[in-house]
């Protein structure tokens, strides 16, 4: 058995994900913990609703970001983060926007400037048992930002395995 851990961030799969100012939560938290200099700017959005998203938001605030928002595509009731952690983040000044999903990361000169989002509504439960988020047509809006931190899930990085190893 090889246990490599889940240190690879899931991608959003949206336009603009390659812009300067997009830093995946696991990379962000690792860099901060290793003492590397991480520059985010004043306005930061974290995409996701789990514990990693909350950790990233609280860390961004402590690094000096003036406005930190967590955007989550479901409601607070479906949010997987520990409720005590989310409440502590809120008490620190982190804004939560529920029923919101990113559509496109906007930028100028290769740098993040904004995030285009769409409002969501909840449909029937999906395979996770939580109600499926469904985009609300015509509800798009834009948030001006300096950095986007995706925190939508983790996966194992199995690139260290030689070709032909069955997983």
Q: Along the 167 residues of the chain, how does pLDDT read in single tens digits?
A: 778 777 777 788 999 999 999 999 999 999 999 999 999 999 999 999 999 999 999 999 999 999 999 999 999 999 999 999 999 999 999 999 999 999 999 999 999 999 999 999 999 998 888 889 999 999 999 999 999 999 998 878 777 888 888 87
Beta strands in the chain (DSSP E): 8-9, 43-47, 67-72, 95-98, 100-108, 111-125, 131-135, 141-144, 147-150, 154-155
Tell me what pLDDT residue 127 has: 86
């Amino acid at each position: 058995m090889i246990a490599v851990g889940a240190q690879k961030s899931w991608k959003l799969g949206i336009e603009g994900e390659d812009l300067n100012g997009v830093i995946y939560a696991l990379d962000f938290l690792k860099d901060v913990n290793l003492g590397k200099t991480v520059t985010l700017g004043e306005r930061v959005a974290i995409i996701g609703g789990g514990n990693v998203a909350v950790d990233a938001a609280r860390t961004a605030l402590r690094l000096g970001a003036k406005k930190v928002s967590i955007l989550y595509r479901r409601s607070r009731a479906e949010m997987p983060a520990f409720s005590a952690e989310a409440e502590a983040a809120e008490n620190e000044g982190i804004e939560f926007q529920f029923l919101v999903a990113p559509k496109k990361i906007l930028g100028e000169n290769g740098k993040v400037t904004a995030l285009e989002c769409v409002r969501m509504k909840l449909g029937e439960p999906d395979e996770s048992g939580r109600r499926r988020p469904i985009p609300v047509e015509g509800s798009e809006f834009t948030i001006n930002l300096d950095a986007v931190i995706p925190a939508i899930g983790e996966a194992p990085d199995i690139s260290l395995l030689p070709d032909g190893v069955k997983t």
